[in-house]
Amino acid sequence: MTATVIAIDGPSGVGKSSVSKETARRLGFGYLDTGAMYRAMAWLAHQRGVGDPGDVVELVRGAELEISTDPDAFAIEVDGIDVTDDIRDPEVAQFVQTVSAVPEARSELIERQREIIAAASPGIVVEGRDITTVVAPQAPVRILMTADEAVRIARRAAELHGAADAAHVDSTRAQISDRDARDAQTTNFTTAADGVVTLDTTHIGFDESVAAVLELIGDRT
């Protein structure tokens, strides 16, 4: 039986990771964080001092990448090294473009993502930046999560620092804006493509966002 695929895209701080995980839990589905795969490859490239696009492609092709699809036990390994915590280091985020901006490296990771999706049962929630348009454009449920930039920055500040006061918001703003600007050069995650439902979470919380996603899934599957 073909797995049910739920594709969710969106910019930084919109809440797509937490909402995607909870949706997967509620449905008994797997969960795939595609951004973690790019971060893992960026971590490896940084560790090995690889920056040339051709070398990056070879690095990605030769790497053994293992990622958990259990929403309650996320883990990721590269060449047998557990990098689950390492890829969340803000420094790693600065190197993601080293991988994501190289078309052949993207293609390699997209194929791996599709293999994981194809092996999923009974379904999988996949989140990232180009899932609805590139990785799984035929998914029965495709959602673009959005929110006002100020709200996204405050949410990410609270996530990273435990508070959304002025100082933490200011320190987070550049990180969010810079990452979105870099990623916008290779993917469109701000405008919904045809057939993709936009879910604006500016004025709704986590529980309401999950409920909205589950309702969309119920309507379309």
Binding residues for ATP, as ranges, are 10-18
Output the six-digit token pair for 63.
């790497």
Is residue 70 helix, strand or coil?
coil
Closest C-alpha among 112, 140, 142, 138 to residue 127: 142
Output the six-digit token pair for 110.
């997209």
What does DSSP assign to residue 2?
Answer: P
Residue that is written with structure tokens 């994501």 in the block: 100
Dihedral angle computed from the Cα positions of residues 174, 175, 177 and 181, in that order, rounded to the nearest 10 degrees: 120
Annotated binding residues: 10-18
Burial of 170 (0-12, 13-18, 19+ CB in 10 A): exposed
Output the six-digit token pair for 14.
């919109």
